[in-house]
Amino acid sequence: MSCSVTIRNLSVCADENLLFSGVNLNVSHKEKIAIIGANGSGKTTLLETIAGLRNASGGVIELFHEPMLNLDSFKKYRGEIGYLFQDSDNQFIYPKVLEDVAFSLLSRGVDKDEAVEKSREILEHFGIWHLKDKIVFHLSGGEKKLVALAGVLISKPKILLLDEPTTALDFKMQTRLTQILKSLDISQIIVSHDKEFVRNVADKIYYLNENGLSEDRAGIL
């Protein structure tokens, strides 16, 4: 089976302290996996390393069967990886919703009219077209999360990395986010502390500790 992400014996240090080692993972094409673990176990750090946002201390990361030898290697696949930050405010480039969602297309040279039309389509699909002229920083936590996700998905990445996506969401928004993620036909790696949420979305759940990842085969996590 074709793999979007392959990780072998990965280790990462932070401030000269080993966070984890021996991480092995295969994420197949269109597979959804979740990673849970204790606070400080390095879940966000692992996600950042997979995205090429920080260096690994050892081991191998492959994207689409190609080894990422250094951070420059990830540049080839920047357009294939969508990253949703835990804090949506860190995601935004422009103050208004429509401008921000259209940004990634415009930055790639897409015609403005086409970028606006595609932004309209995804905002309508998410049920938030009515927010198009709102200031992103004035939105609720759930609205921010959906706008940020729209801005990520509009470029049609093949891999979606999500850091604590349910943070600051009420039940209604969490339900909507769950529906959206389940409907996406792309590979997903979700870092979360929310066990109920990941049970509803992920095909497999892994637990991260200093010795690597262990799969929840019995469904007890």
Provide the residue ranges of all domains of the chain, joining segments of one domain with +.
3-215
pLDDT of residue 100: 97
Is residue 179 exposed (0-12), middle (13-18) or buried (19+ Cβ within 10 Å)?
A: exposed
* CA neighbor of 213 nearest in space, from 7, 25, 1, 12: 25
**Which residues contact residue 132 at a Cβ distance below 8 angstroms, ignoring those fewer than 6 apart?**
96, 97, 98, 119, 120, 123
pLDDT of residue 27: 96
Question: How far apart are alpha carbons 42 and 194 in whole angstroms?
Answer: 16
pLDDT of residue 219: 62
pLDDT of residue 112: 95
**Strands of 32-37's sheet in order across:** 81-84, 159-163, 187-191, 32-37, 204-209, 212-215
Specify the CATH architecture of the domain 3-215: 3-Layer(aba) Sandwich (3.40)
* CA neighbor of 208 nearest in space, from 31, 61, 55, 7: 7
pTM as predicted: 0.94
The stretches in the chain having pLDDT less than 50 are 1
